[in-house]
Structure 1
Amino acid sequence: MALKASPEEQARLLDLQALDTKLQQLDHRAKNLPEVTQLVSLAADAERLRLQRARETGTVEDARTELKRVESDVAVIEARIARDDARLQASSSVKDVAGLEHELSGLRRRHDELEEIELVVMEKLETLENGVRLTTAEQAQAIEAMTATTAARDASLTSIAEERTVNSANRQAIAGAVAPELVALYERQRARYGLGASHLRGGVSSASGVKLLENEMAIIRSAAPDEVLICPDSQAILVRTSESGLHAGAAADSR
């Protein structure tokens, strides 16, 4: 036996379908928020900068170790120069004086070389430390952006959840005003075909966007207003209203 429902009750299915479509859109929005994509990119940047900073910090430590080694070598040479100077001043031996002067000459050359090396290492260290400061600032900016984007994402999700709660309540109210067997058919068709109800407007099924054939329209025109019809294209429940393009008297009452 064909399912029967008043035109008004059938028309409520369009409101139910509109709410289900809205709920699907809200779920899609929640899964595809731009903030989610932004957070993935920001997290990748923050991790890249963290690794970069770790490498740069290691290089800085190596440079500091190198500088300490050069400074230690300079201190050793300066101590030897001071010792030989003192010995030179105290020596009266021509042979010893000549030997000390020769050694001092070599020590002073080495001292000059080490000071040049020390200067180069100090300049390198300064450049490396500046690099670490810049990377640290960039990393902080990335983390700050992640924090702000996370807050924006959470605010969007909260807004969507609130909107979903309202629409779900409205859906429950509408579904409660429709006969259970009609709702069951609607749910079954929606689960199978994606849409549960389709508005026939000007001979076109809203669910499929297809204009029905004349023989199909003839069957629809001959159906009683309370007969529940299935759209031949979308397989959704076909809801008829005054906009359906049916002859007077054959269509369901307007919503």
Structure 2
Amino acid sequence: MKAPVSEQRSLLELQAADTRLAQLNHKAKNLPQQKRLDELAGQIGAVSHRLAAVNGELEDAQLEISRVESDVEVVATRMKRDRSRLETSSSTKDIQGLEHEIASLEKRQSDLEDIELAVMERIDDINARLALVTEEIGIFTAERDALQTDRDAALAEITHERAGVQVSRDLIAGGIGDELLALYNRQRERYGIGAALLTRGISMGSNVKLHESDLAKIRLAAPDDVVLDPDSSCILVRTEESGL
């Protein structure tokens, strides 16, 4: 294949633009903020699970204390009723029965109050743990929000630069013939690099000094001949620096 020397040299600018675009794409996919955000997502998920569990404990304890308080109220009502009946009763048998029931109710009331106290202490413990977990998730979410802001700013900067590089790349590509451009694109897609400078006998595509036999063939090529690097398979661009 033959192509004007000026177009071949333009391939170096095109490759530089493509290299920068690849760097920007890699940078966008590997932002340190995103890496930490991915870690935070797992941590926030774990803490949220703990938060739900502690809230569940609190709900269970509150239901339990409600039941105990209801039972205490029932016992208190029965005791009030029995004491009222005791004051008006004249039957020895009824009095003995009421006194026995009142004693049992007092014991039940004492037991319920002990249970109520234990549950209230448990609620205090749960609330303390709930405060710690809530604080922990608050710290994580604050860090997440700040990181998202930083990440979005970094992505916006990358997007802006990428748009500028793409415009330059399109302008450069517009000045290169279709056949040469197609070869460049094909080699770049296959081997990762489409064109490189040959300088002092070294291919910048492979960073390897070419064998003398390969250099001899290149010396015989006409200036407008398109030459491929025998190592990296990219288009070798020859200039005054090539050492031929």
TM range (shorter): 0.7 to 0.9
Q: Which moved more, 1:83-92 or 1:56-65?
A: 83-92
Which residue number in structure 1 is paired with residue 205 of structure 2? Answer: 207
Q: Distance in 2 between matches of 1:96 and 1:185?
A: 112
User: Any idea what the Cα deviations from partners look like across 1:94-147, whole Å, max 9, x if unmatched?
Assistant: 554444433333222222111111000111122223333333343344333333
Which residue number in structure 1 is paired with residue 32 of structure 2? Answer: 34
Q: Contact 1:57/1:132 (CA < 8 Å) preserved in 2?
A: yes
Identical aligned residues as a percent = 47
For 2:193, what is the secondary structure of its paired residue?
A: coil
For 1:232, what is the secondary structure of its paired residue?
A: coil
Residue correspondences, number = 244
Which residue number in structure 2 is paired with residue 3 of structure 1? Answer: 2
For 2:242, what is the secondary structure of its paired residue?
A: coil
Q: Which moved more, 1:78-87 or 1:213-222?
A: 78-87
> Pairwise mapping of residues 77-226 of structure 1 onto structure 2 (< 5 A)?
77-91=75-89, 94-226=92-224
For 2:243, what is the secondary structure of its paired residue?
A: coil
Q: Distance in 1 between matches of 2:24 and 2:63?
A: 58
Any stretches of 5+ residues in structure 1 without a counterpart?
Answer: 247-255
AA matched with 2:237 = V
Please report how far the alpha carbon of residue 90 of structure 1 lies from its aligned counterpart in structure 2 after TM superposition. 4.1
For 1:239, what is the secondary structure of its paired residue?
A: strand
The structure with the largest helix share of the pair is 2
Please report how far the alpha carbon of residue 74 of structure 1 lies from its aligned counterpart in structure 2 after TM superposition. 1.4
Task: Normalising by structure 2, report the TM-score.
Answer: 0.87
- The reply on whether 1:73 has 2:104 as its aligned counterpart is no
Q: Distance in 1 between matches of 2:191 and 2:94?
A: 108
AA matched with 1:221 = R
Q: Distance in 1 between matches of 2:242 and 2:33?
A: 42
Q: Distance in 1 between matches of 2:220 and 2:107?
A: 114
